[in-house]
Amino acid sequence: MLDFDQLYKTYYVKIYSFVLTIVKDRSLAEEITQEAFFKAFKSKEKYEGRSSEYTWLCAIAKNVCADEKRRDNKNREVIGALSDNVIQLKEKNDEEQMIKIHQILHGLEEPYKEVFQLRIFGELTFKQIAKIFGKTESWARVTYHRARIKMQERM
C-alpha cells in the first residue's frame, strides 16, 4: 500500500514542473497537478509497481493535461459557435431573437450572468474571468459551463 502523504511530499514539485512544461501556465499547472494527485489517490489500489511511482504519476498528470486540452478545445468551439450565432443575428438584424437572448440572459442569476457576458460578449479568457472574480480558472470554466446550460434550457 502506498503512503500517499509521503508520495505527495516527494513528488509534488516534480509533477508540477512536469505539468508546467506542458501547459506553460502556473495556475493551470497547479490545478492539473492537484487533479493528478487526486486521481492517483482514488486509484492507488490499482498501482501495481510495474513502473516507478514518478512515472505512474507523470502518466496520470499527462492524461489530465490531455483531458484539459480537450475540454478547452470543446469550450472554444462552443464559444465560437455561440459568438457566430450572435454575430449572424446582428447581421440579419434579427432583433426579435437578439432580444430573446438578452431577456434570457437578463433573467440569469449571478455569477452565471456576468461570467457568460464576459466570456461571450467580452471575449475574455477563463484566466481573465477568474482574475476578475478572485477565483480559480476551474471555477470560471464550471460557472460558464453552467451558465451556458441554463441559457440553452431557457431557449
Q: What is the pLDDT of residues 108-134, one digit of tens each?
A: 888 888 888 888 777 788 888 999 999
Report pLDDT digits (tens) over 20-71.
Answer: 998 888 888 898 999 999 998 888 777 777 888 899 999 999 999 888 887 7
pLDDT, position 16 = 93
Based on the domain organization, do 57 and 99 belong to the same domain? Answer: no
pLDDT, position 17 = 93
Residue 65, class by beta-carbon neighbours within 10 Å (0-12 exposed, 13-18 middle, 19+ buried)? buried
> Which residue would you say has higher pLDDT here, 155 or 127?
127
Can you give the C-alpha Rg of the chain in angstroms? 20
10 is a domain residue: yes
Domain that holds residue 104: 94-154
80 is a domain residue: no
> Which residue would you say has higher pLDDT here, 150 or 15?
15
CATH number (domain holding residue 14) = 1.10.1740.10
